[in-house]
Structure formats: C-alpha cells, structure tokens
Amino acid sequence: MSFKTIEYKGDSVVLIDQTKLPSKEVYAVCKDYKAVGRAIKNMLIRGAPAIGVAAAMGVAIGAAGIVADDFDTFKKRLDKICDHLSQTRPTAVNLFWAIDRMQNVVEANRGKSVKQIKKALIAESKRVLKEDISICKLIGANGADLLDDGDNVLTHCNAGALATGGYGTALGVIRGAHSQRKKIHVYADETRPFLQGARLTAWELMKDNIPVTLITDNMAGHLMKKGLIDKIVVGADRIASNGDAANKIGTYTLSVLAKEHKIPFYVAAPVSTFDFNIRTGDEINIEERDTAEVTHVFGKRIAPENVSVRNPAFDVTPNKYITAIVTERGVLRKP
Ligand code: MRU
C-alpha cells in the first residue's frame, strides 16, 4: 500500500487521519493512550480490525507510560487504561478482542520485570498489526474465487486497507480478484452520514487503479433492479454465533434488496470479528453517535434547528440474507 493505516513508530502511535481524507493525507501522532482513545472515538481511525490494532497499540503505549516497580501496581494501572480504551466505541468486537489479548500478555509475563512486560506489550501490538495484514490477504485469497471476471461489485462503507492493518476485508476480496487479473468494477455506496464510501473507499480504490463508481446510498436499489450489480461484498463489526452480522448502517437494507434481486451477498471478516458469547445479532450493542453527524455536513447545518434526530451507526443483517462469510480460514456457508 502507498500509505500506512497505523504503526507504532518510536514511542508514538502514528495513524493516517481518516477524518481529513481524501483532501488531505495527514498523519496524527498519538503520544499517549488518551490520544489513541480520542482517535478511535472521533474516528480518525475506524473500521473494526483497525480499531482492534489501535486498541492494542493504545494499551502498549499506555503501559509504557506507567510508573510502577511491582507487578500488582502495574497491572492495576494497566487495567484502568484498558477500561478507558474499551469505552471508546461499543459495536466492533475487535476492540475488546484486542484489549483481552493484551491483558493476556500481561498475565503470561507475570514473573517478569515491569520493563520486560512493557516491551512484550509493544511487541504484541506490532504483532496484532502484522497478523491483521496477513489475515486480510488470506480473506482476499479465499474470497477472490467468489468473484467472476467482469463482475460489478457493490460495497458499503469502507472495509478496506484503511479499516484494517492494510489490504482490507471486503476490499481485500476485491483486491484478491483484481490480482487474479479479473476485471472487477466496484460501486461504492457513499455511506451517509460519515461518508466512508465517498471519502475513503473511492480514495483507496482509485489509488490502486481499481475501477470504482461512486453512488449515493439510495441509488443501490435502482442499480440492482437494472441488473447492474452482480455481487455485494461488505465487512462486519461483530458477527453473532448464528451468523447475524452487524455492519455499517444501511447494510441491512442492501441485504434485503439483494434477496429480492437474487444477488449474492457476502460478508468478509476475520475470525476475531466473531463474538461467540452472543447467540444472535439482537444482543449486539449498536452505537448511537452524535446527532450533528446527521444535521450537519462538513460543519454546515442542513436540517432545521431542534429537529428530532436518530443516528444509529450500525445495523444487523440476519444470517438468512447472507450467502457466505469469507474469513481467513475459509468461506463459511449455511449449515
Ligand atoms: O463506523 P466505522 O467506520 O468504524 O464502521 C466501519 C464498518 O462498518 C466496516 O464495514 C466494518 O468495520 C468492517 S471494516 C473491515
């Protein structure tokens, strides 16, 4: 990739500021865990796997700043940092998965010095990033066969390199097919209200010379009816044990439309996005974000003052509308 989504560089966490894309390619430098927490909450970094990587790095940088000589004091302070980071965004399970993984590293190194544990945590966070990129490439390779030469593929939100350590999940599948020399054309949903499709998916696909056409969300049904969409591939923020999948608001609508038009609907996600602690999608905590995201566009008010507003950031697609889930371990179909 010609850009890095996130890295642990020197004693900082450096990430491309996604709120500034596509007009400015600038990097935010986080010097402590609170800055990483703010970057996740304010969506400078977003997308389930990327949130996981950021959380791991947030724990690592937080640990590095702890002043403590004994294990118990260190652990108590680290738990507070983990708690702080876990309050940033509720829906993507990768956040909690990454924090748990970092806490397990602390436990596994119980007998070691605080200095050694800090080092182990930084190394682990770098491993989370590296693994995520490899996982995305496997998802891409596993999913590539689902796409045919000449396909028009619709995607929603941004499940690309920007939403992961690199390469992407849904866009990983598209990249995988593209690298097999299949001619794939992507329709990118704009993705109101945060515009991840318009600002991020269009930007990263154009950088890779993958043909992309931008549409607003309400155009998708029309294109499906006209026979212009062959497949739909999206990412996920949390997948319940029964295969119900939470993803960016608007995904559910697409899945129902896909069923009506007999278009295969694929979800691409790493195994870390599965939450086996919940049975169905009804148990997924759906983040409600600031209403200003709906009433304002780039700081300009577009709705009347005091209008009542809802802003759920995700919805749940029932498993019955999902043709298959593409993971790094293979393609899951209904039992
Ligand atoms: O609110 P966001 O931008 O974090 O939501 C992102 C999505 O819904 C993605 O589709 C999902 O996290 C998968 S990213 C590989």
Minimum-distance ligand 1 atom for the alpha carbon of 92:
12
- Could you give the domains of the chain? 6-137 (1.20.120.420), 143-332 (3.40.50.10470)
What Cα–Cα distance (Å) separates residue 272 from each residue in 86, 101, 237? 16, 11, 10
Q: 72 C-alpha vs ligand 1 centroid, how far in Å? A: 36
Give the closest residue to 97 by CA, choosing from 140, 138, 129, 51.
51
Which residues' Cβ are closer than 6 Å to ligand 1? Answer: 46-49, 92, 157, 159, 163-164, 169, 196, 235-237, 247-248, 313
Q: Where are the alpha helices (DSSP H) in 65-92?
A: 71-86
CA dist., res. 166 & res. 33, Å (int): 22
Q: What is the pLDDT of residue 11?
A: 96
**E strand or H helix at 321:** none
Say how many Å lie between the CA of residue 237 and the centre of ligand 1.
Answer: 6
Distances (CA, A) of 7 to 36, 45, 79, 163: 12, 12, 23, 14
Tell me the CA end-to-end span of the chain in Å, nearest whole number: 37
| Alpha helices (H) along the chain | 33-41, 48-64, 71-86, 93-108, 114-144, 170-179, 196, 202-207, 220-225, 251-260, 292-295
Q: What is the pLDDT of residue 335?
A: 80
237 is catalytic: yes
Q: Whose CA is nearest to atom 15 of ligand 1?
A: 159
Q: Which one of 132, 151, 189, 237 is the catalytic residue?
A: 237
pLDDT for res 168: 98
Q: What is the pLDDT of residue 198?
A: 98
Task: Give 248 Cα–ligand 1 centroid separation in angstroms.
Answer: 6
Which residue in 182, 270, 276, 197 sits closest to 230, CA to CA?
A: 182
Query: How far is the centre of ligand 1, averaged over its atoms, from the C-alpha of 267 (Å)?
Result: 12
Please report where in the chains the tokens 């497949």 appear, as a residue. Answer: 231
The pLDDT, as a whole number, for residue 230 is: 98
Give pLDDT tens digits along the chain (335 positions).
789 999 999 999 999 999 999 999 999 999 999 999 999 999 999 999 999 999 999 999 999 999 999 999 999 999 999 999 999 999 999 999 999 999 999 999 999 999 999 999 999 999 999 999 999 999 999 999 999 999 999 999 999 999 999 999 999 999 999 999 999 999 999 999 999 999 999 999 999 999 999 999 999 999 999 999 999 999 999 999 999 999 999 999 999 999 999 999 999 999 999 999 999 999 999 999 999 999 999 999 999 999 999 999 999 999 999 999 999 999 999 88
CA pair distance 221, 216, nearest whole angstrom = 11
